[in-house]
Amino acid sequence: MGGKKILRRAIELKPEERFMLVEGLLKSLDSPDHQSDEIWAKKAEKRLIAYREGKLAEIPMEEMFTS
């Protein structure tokens, strides 16, 4: 069943049922993405190693948040 058809059917639900559906959909978007987490962890580790080896310069936190 396609998204448009699902939406048409969902609109026919009672308000409480629509709320429950929306809440469930929003919660599903907040679920952890383990693959992305793993990619970011590897990238962070590589950056830390590069920093410790002097291949990557430090940037003050204040500068990072004002740029």
User: Three-class SS of residue 6?
Assistant: helix
Higher pLDDT pick, 46 / 65: 46
The pLDDT of 33-50, averaged and rounded, is 93
Model confidence at 67: pLDDT above 80:
no
Domain that holds residue 56: 33-67
- Tell me what the mean pLDDT of segment 38-62 comes to: 93
Same domain flag for 61 and 44: yes
Our count of domains for the chain comes to 2
Task: Verify that 37 and 22 share a domain, yes or no.
Answer: no
Integer-rounded Cα Rg, in Å, for the chain is: 22
Sequence-ordered list of residues with C-beta below 8 angstroms from that of 12, at least 6 positions apart, any chain = none
- Considering the entire predicted model, what is its pTM? 0.47
Coil vs helix vs strand at 10 = helix
Verify that 40 and 26 share a domain, yes or no.
no
What CA–CA distances, in Å, run from 52 to 45, 49, 55, 59, 65? Answer: 11, 5, 8, 14, 23
State whether 49 and 65 are in the same domain: yes
Q: What is the mean pLDDT of residues 30-55?
A: 92
